[in-house]
């Protein structure tokens, strides 16, 4: 587990990548995340996390075709790897299993 | 057309970004830019810039140069790794080395800070090169005396008659502290009176006011920033405010009145020798000066001048001297051209460091302390370097096999030297980093010890000085072990036979001997200095300085002296009370005279006192009586001390009349007592009764009742002066001030001596540990064959004993000579007994021996199996 760590922000980005599998690229992730979190994010923060996860092997990337948008630069699409999926699943299981242990707590108003 | 992102940002991104990331990042940034541009082009451009900057991080920057994996870089990497591993492996050697060097460097740097701050005193004046003080010396056939004051006629005469003078200003002390007041506030302050040109001559930082006009009007006052701040509690002090001088102190009365603030000087940012709280004007001084001034033979004021640029100072000095002789002796009827008073120039910025004259010749002063401490700093640094060299060389012996193998494989000598230099430089670098940070953190504390504010301005010279100290130390310490090791022959090393040449042994032993010598000399001198200072504190002075407290007569006390003394004596705890002029611990008045025709002329040191002086201070009378209210006309009588009676060659002088400051009848003879510091012999001295001149009250308090008595005394004081604070001092404090310079120096000296000894001990510890380690097998075999612990210890410390004995022989004469020189400055002093030398020798020998013995003991007690089992 210690080898395959996943930070909170990394997890969020990985989720977005998985949700838009092989359609996800920098700006798209940025827009979706800032909409969900209702918070301004910087593109380079996304880049940092993407590159880090690519090094860890959670995501892989490939270039799209050349279009007229973006000053002619290609998009780089990210998709989740099977390792990434496993890490994500484990994270999810871990959370839900602990969450389910929470007894019914009443906070009586 | 599509909006274009900022070109410069884009170019920057392309310059630094990794090629495999570039297209993606560029694209994303441009896409965002295009989206935003529709709403607000400006913020889009800003965001783009920001985005590019955010990408500028280590992970995204491309490698700018291709690392060539040549042998040199590989070796460098390898050396670095080995160095770090060695530090880790031999932790104790590493720590000893690091501590020794950094402590040594730290002390050297601290001394450098102090020396630098002392040397730059007063050097900040813009006209430093042209700025001189006019000095005077007098030769009346009894030795030449140097004076720093002159007649107040000098400044106007110089300005009017000598062309070379650019500016000139007189400078006079307001002889006592006075009370400055503004509104409700009342503060004691030390002041000066200065000529109009003062601020043109000196570059003091006048934060408010006009340099030309500040000291022109008679009712002007210039305040120091500190004084202005302390006065401005309820109202801000600024130009045009009126500050009053109150007439409640002796000289306050002379200058009492209201003054308009015309300037505020900030003295705190400059390295100033003469500090003042306020300045008054020359005009005021001239109006209020006492009778007797305003003549060419008076000496009321100091004189500062600046000369025009390109003036030949030597020629000018001659001209000035001639000019003064003409003024002083207009009829030119003096005996010889040498006799009498003469004028000369001294550079102002040199005055602080070179402030002592002996028989008219400049003979050092503060510069002596600077030289002394620079020498100590150098010694400490040298000891630290030697330590480092010895330990590193010893350390390297552990790695002889490594060196041998490397040489066999083909490492060249420079390569090996480089490896060891790298190691030394890394260690020295760590030590100097620690030392520099330590020194920066500690140097403000030095001012507590040295008694003067240490002001360090971070000039390039200072930084350069620090850097060169650090670099030179690293180089000296690092180079010897490096070259020593790289010279060794591989075959011998690998065979395990290491023949060191005689010269190497001599060098290394010599270094250790030197270290010991320095430590020994330092211990001897510290002991002598401490003993002499103890002696000055404990020797019977001939008067009682315990429980005598003194305070200045101020305000109503000046008019009601007798009434106050009568009331004071009624307090239970007060045994006696008197008044005097100046300080009982240090007589400052002097005057010469021929007491009777046919007698030699004698120069006396004397005191003007009130009734009960002799009784209050517990001075013993040999014959006769002291001043008493029961007799009439006591003002025309005199009490001599033994020395004067001897100097005048008198027998049964009591009741006879002599001409000493007027015709006076001798009523008593006092036993000699020390009315000055131990530097001076007891001189011919006398007391005369002049109650009007007294400015200090002295009270003898019964031991054990100090607290109650002080409270009552304060109450009494306040019935006379309800508005003045009661500020008293004990006489022994006064007395200690006589040795202020010695005491602060001794304190500083002791610290550095301790440091040097500490470093030497560290070095010894390291060496001992190393020797023991290399001989572990030998010790094991000896034990197996039946040797006992003590024989092994004595075997291991034999070398050391030899070294210490040599060091003792060398250092003792040097220590004796140095301390003798220092003690020569005291007329009353301790004898240099052999005890001091024996003790200090014993301290060093014991210290060294116990360090080595402890290490040896550990080795000797170990089970021989442990060290013999492997190989």
Q: Choose the weakest-confidence range: B215-229, B234-248, B268-282, B380-394.
A: B234-248
How many angstroms separate the CA atoms of B95 and B366, rounded? 38
CB-CB neighbors (< 8 A) of B23 in chain A: 63, 73-74, 76
User: Can you give chain A as a three-state secondary structure string?
Assistant: CCCCCCCHHHHHHHHHHHHCCCCECHHHHHHHHHHHHCCCCCHHHHHHHHHHHHHHCCEEEEECCCCCCHHHCCCEEEEECHHHHHHHHHHHHHHHHHHHCCCCCCCCC
Of the pLDDT bands very low, low, confident and very high (cuts 50, 70, 90), residue B576 is: confident
pLDDT value of position A64: 84
Residues B269 and B377 in one domain: no
| Terminal CA-CA length for chain B | 84
pLDDT digits (tens, 9 = 90+) for B296-326: 877 788 899 998 888 888 888 888 888 888 8
Question: Which residue, B653, B628, B629, is CA-closest to B643?
Answer: B653
CB-CB neighbors (< 8 A) of B51 in chain A: 42-44
Best A44, A45, A48, A72 member to test B by mutation, with max B CBs in 10 Å, is A44
* Domain regions of chain A by residue span: 8-98
Q: Which residue did the predictor score with more confidence, B11 or B724? A: B11
Residues B575 and B624 in one domain: yes
Residues B296 and B158 in one domain: yes
Q: Mean of the pLDDT values across residues B208-228?
A: 87
Q: Mean of the pLDDT values across residues A21-45?
A: 87
In the DSSP assignment, the letter for residue B692 is: G
How many angstroms separate the CA atoms of B38 and B23, rounded? 23
Question: Six-digit token pair at B135?
Answer: 């000095």
Question: Six-digit token pair at B351?
Answer: 């005055």
How many angstroms separate the CA atoms of B40 and B465, rounded? 55
- Find out whether B280 and B264 touch, Cβ atoms under 8 Å: no
Query: How far from chain centre, in Å, is Cα B623?
Result: 46
Subunit contact A30:B32, Cβ cutoff 8 A: yes
Residue B2 lies in a domain: no
Subunit contact A47:B25, Cβ cutoff 8 A: yes
Residues B276 and B139 in one domain: yes
Subunit contact A71:B28, Cβ cutoff 8 A: no
Question: Six-digit token pair at B448?
Answer: 């507590």
CB-CB neighbors (< 8 A) of B28 in chain A: 25-27, 30, 43, 47, 70
Q: How many CB pairs under 8 A join A and B?
A: 63
| Residue B131 scores a pLDDT above 70 | yes
Q: State the total domains in chain B.
A: 5
Cβ neighbors of B645 (< 8 A, separation 6 or more) are B653, B669
Of the pLDDT bands very low, low, confident and very high (cuts 50, 70, 90), residue B412 is: confident
Host domain of residue B390:
71-122+365-496
Q: Mean of the pLDDT values across residues B584-590?
A: 71
Does domain A8-98 sit in CATH 1.10.10.10?
A: yes
pLDDT digits (tens, 9 = 90+) for B438-480: 888 887 777 766 666 676 767 788 788 878 877 787 777 777 7
Which residue do the tokens 């005199």 mark?
A: B638
pLDDT value of position A97: 92
H or E stretch covering B321: helix B313-328
| Residue B634 scores a pLDDT above 50 | yes
pLDDT digits (tens, 9 = 90+) for B41-51: 888 888 888 88
The residue of chain A nearest to residue B59, with distances taken between CA atoms, is A48
pLDDT value of position B68: 59
State the smallest CA–CA distance between residue A42 and chain B in angstroms: 7
pLDDT digits (tens, 9 = 90+) for B14-23: 888 888 888 8
Of B23, B55, B60, the CB nearest to A73: B23
Residues B391 and B531 in one domain: no
pLDDT value of position A1: 42
Largest CA distance in chain B: 123
How many angstroms separate the CA atoms of B378 and B370, rounded? 12
From residue B169, give the alpha-carbon distance in Å to each of B281, B317, B540: 10, 18, 46
| Residue A3 scores a pLDDT above 60 | no
Residues B302 and B184 in one domain: yes
Of B2, B29, B57, the CB nearest to A43: B29
R_g (Cα) of chain B, nearest Å: 37
State the smallest CA–CA distance between residue A73 and chain B in angstroms: 5
Where would I find the beta strands (DSSP E) of B70-175?
A: 131-139, 144-147, 165-173
pLDDT value of position B304: 92
pLDDT digits (tens, 9 = 90+) for B30-84: 888 888 888 888 888 888 888 888 888 887 887 766 555 677 777 778 888 888 8
Residues B600 and B510 in one domain: no
DSSP B351-389: HTTS--EETTEE--SHHHHHHHHHHHHHHHHHHHHHHHH
pLDDT value of position A96: 92
Average pLDDT, chain B: 82
pLDDT digits (tens, 9 = 90+) for B746-764: 887 888 888 888 888 888 8
Of B24, B30, B50, the CB nearest to A71: B30
- Find out whether B220 and B281 touch, Cβ atoms under 8 Å: yes
Subunit contact B50:A43, Cβ cutoff 8 A: no
Is the ipTM of this structure higher than 0.95? Answer: no
β-strands B663-670, B637-641 pairing: parallel
Of B32, B54, B59, the CB nearest to A27: B32
Residues B167 and B297 in one domain: yes
Residues B485 and B615 in one domain: no
Question: Which residue, B656, B653, B636, is CA-closest to B644?
Answer: B653
Residues B200 and B308 in one domain: yes
Of the pLDDT bands very low, low, confident and very high (cuts 50, 70, 90), residue A109 is: low
Residues B492 and B562 in one domain: no
Residue B871 lies in a domain: yes
Instruction: Choose one of B300, B321, B350: the last residue of a domain.
Output: B350
Count the Cβ atoms, other than its own, within 10 Å of residue B205: 15
Question: Six-digit token pair at B648?
Answer: 């005048």
Percent residues over pLDDT 90 in chain B:
1
pLDDT value of position A107: 76
Question: Six-digit token pair at B844?
Answer: 């060093």
Neighbour-count burial of B134, counting CB atoms closer than 10 A to its CB (0-12 exposed, 13-18 middle, 19+ buried): buried
Residue B355 lies in a domain: no
CB-CB neighbors (< 8 A) of B29 in chain A: 43
pLDDT value of position A2: 43
Residue B19 lies in a domain: yes
CB-CB neighbors (< 8 A) of B21 in chain A: 47, 51
pLDDT value of position B235: 66
Count the Cβ atoms, other than its own, within 10 Å of residue B476: 17
Residue B320 lies in a domain: yes
The residue of chain B nearest to residue A41, with distances taken between CA atoms, is B51
Of B24, B54, B55, the CB nearest to A76: B24
Residue B23 lies in a domain: yes
Question: Six-digit token pair at B204?
Answer: 């003091």
Residues B155 and B242 in one domain: yes
Predicted model pTM: 0.70
């Amino acid at each position: 587990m210690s080898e395959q760590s996943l930070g909170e922000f990394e997890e969020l980005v990985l989720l977005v990548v998985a949700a838009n599998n092989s359609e996800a690229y920098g700006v798209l992730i940025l827009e979706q995340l800032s909409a969900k979190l209702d918070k301004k994010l910087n593109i380079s923060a996304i880049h940092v996390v993407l590159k880090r996860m690519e090094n860890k092997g959670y995501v892989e990337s490939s270039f799209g075709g050349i279009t007229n948008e973006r000053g002619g630069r290609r998009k780089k699409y990210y998709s989740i790897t099977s390792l990434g999926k496993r890490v994500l699943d484990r994270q999810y299981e871990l959370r839900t299993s602990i969450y389910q242990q929470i007894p019914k707590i009443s906070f009586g108003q | 057309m599509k909006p274009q992102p900022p070109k410069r940002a884009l170019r920057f991104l392309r310059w630094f970004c990794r090629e495999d990331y570039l297209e993606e990042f560029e694209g994303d940034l441009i896409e965002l830019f295009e989206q935003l541009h529709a709403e607000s082009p400006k913020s889009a451009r800003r965001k783009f810039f920001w985005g590019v900057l955010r990408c500028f991080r280590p992970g995204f920057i491309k490698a700018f140069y291709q690392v060539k994996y040549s042998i040199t870089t590989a070796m460098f990497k390898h050396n670095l790794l080995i160095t770090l591993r060695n530090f880790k492996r031999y932790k104790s050697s590493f720590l000893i080395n690091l501590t020794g060097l950094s402590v040594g460097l730290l002390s050297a740097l601290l001394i450098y800070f102090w020396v630098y701050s002392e040397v730059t005193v007063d050097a900040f004046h813009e006209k430093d090169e042209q700025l001189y003080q006019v000095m005077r010396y007098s030769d009346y056939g009894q030795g030449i005396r140097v004076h720093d004051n002159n007649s107040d006629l000098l400044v106007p005469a110089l300005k009017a008659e000598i062309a070379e003078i650019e500016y000139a200003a007189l400078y006079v002390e307001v002889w006592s502290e006075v009370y400055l007041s503004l509104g409700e506030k009342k503060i004691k302050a030390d002041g000066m009176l200065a000529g109009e040109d003062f601020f043109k001559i000196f570059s003091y930082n006048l934060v408010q006011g006009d340099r030309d006009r500040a000291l022109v009007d008679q009712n002007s006052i210039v305040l120091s920033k500190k004084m202005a701040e302390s006065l401005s509690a309820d109202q801000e002090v600024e130009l045009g405010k009126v500050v009053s001088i109150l007439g409640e102190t002796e000289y306050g009365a002379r200058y009492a009145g209201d003054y308009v603030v015309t300037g505020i000087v900030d003295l705190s940012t400059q390295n100033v020798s003469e500090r003042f709280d306020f300045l008054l004007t020359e005009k005021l001084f001239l109006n209020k000066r006492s009778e007797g001034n305003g003549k060419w033979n008076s000496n009321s004021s100091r004189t500062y001048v600046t000369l025009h640029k390109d003036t030949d100072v030597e020629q000018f000095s001659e001209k000035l001297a001639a000019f003064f002789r003409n003024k002083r002796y207009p009829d030119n009827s003096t005996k010889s051209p040498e006799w009498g008073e003469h004028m000369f120039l001294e550079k102002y910025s040199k005055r602080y460091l070179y402030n002592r004259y002996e028989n008219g010749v400049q003979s050092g002063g503060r510069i002596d302390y600077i030289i002394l401490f620079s020498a100590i700093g150098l010694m400490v640094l040298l000891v630290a370097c030697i330590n480092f060299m010895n330990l590193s060389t010893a350390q390297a012996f552990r790695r002889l096999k490594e060196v041998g193998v490397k040489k066999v494989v083909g490492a060249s000598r420079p390569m090996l030297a480089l490896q060891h230099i790298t190691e030394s430089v890394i260690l020295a670098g760590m030590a100097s980093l620690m030392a520099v940070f330590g020194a920066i953190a500690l140097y403000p504390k030095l001012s507590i010890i040295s008694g003067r504010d240490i002001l360090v301005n971070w000039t390039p010279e200072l930084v350069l000085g620090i850097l060169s100290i650090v670099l030179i130390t690293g180089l000296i310490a690092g180079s010897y072990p490096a070259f020593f090791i790289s010279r060794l022959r591989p075959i011998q090393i690998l065979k395990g036979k290491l023949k060191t040449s005689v010269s190497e042994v001599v060098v290394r032993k010599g270094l250790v001997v030197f270290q010991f010598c320095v430590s020994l000399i330092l211990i001897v001198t510290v002991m002598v200095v401490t003993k002499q200072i103890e002696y000055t504190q404990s020797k019977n002075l001939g008067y009682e300085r315990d429980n005598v407290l003194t305070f200045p007569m101020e305000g109503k006390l000046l008019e009601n002296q007798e009434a106050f003394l009568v009331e004071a004596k009624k307090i239970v705890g007060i045994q006696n009370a008197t008044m005097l002029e100046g300080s009982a611990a240090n007589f400052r008045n002097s005057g010469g005279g021929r007491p009777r025709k046919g007698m030699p002329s004698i120069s006396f040191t004397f005191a003007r006192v009130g009734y009960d002086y002799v009784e209050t201070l517990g001075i013993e009378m040999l014959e006769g009586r002291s001043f008493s209210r029961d007799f009439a006309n006591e003002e025309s009588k005199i009490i001599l001390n033994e020395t004067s009676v001897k100097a005048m060659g008198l027998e049964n002088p009591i009741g006879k009349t002599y001409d000493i400051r007027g015709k006076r009848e001798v009523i008593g003879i006092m036993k000699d007592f020390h009315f000055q510091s131990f530097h001076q012999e007891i001189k011919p001295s006398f007391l005369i009764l002049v109650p009007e001149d007294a400015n200090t009250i002295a009270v003898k308090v019964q031991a054990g009742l100090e607290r109650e008595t002080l409270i009552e005394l304060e109450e009494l004081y306040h019935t006379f002066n309800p508005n003045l604070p009661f500020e008293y001092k004990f006489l022994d404090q006064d007395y200690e001030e006589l040795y202020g310079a010695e005491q602060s120096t001794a304190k500083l000296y002791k610290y550095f001596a301790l440091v040097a000894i500490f470093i030497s001990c560290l070095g010894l510890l390291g060496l001992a540990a190393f020797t023991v380690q290399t001989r572990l097998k030998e010790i094991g075999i000896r034990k197996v064959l039946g040797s006992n612990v003590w024989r092994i210890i004595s075997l291991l410390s034999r070398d050391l004993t030899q070294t210490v004995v040599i060091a003792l022989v060398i250092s003792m004469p040097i220590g004796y000579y140095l301390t003798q020189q220092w003690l020569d400055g005291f007329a009353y002093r301790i004898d240099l007994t052999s005890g001091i030398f024996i003790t200090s020798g014993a301290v060093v020998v014991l210290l060294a021996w116990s360090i080595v013995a402890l290490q040896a003991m550990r080795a000797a007690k170990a089970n021989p199996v442990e060290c013999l089992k492997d190989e």
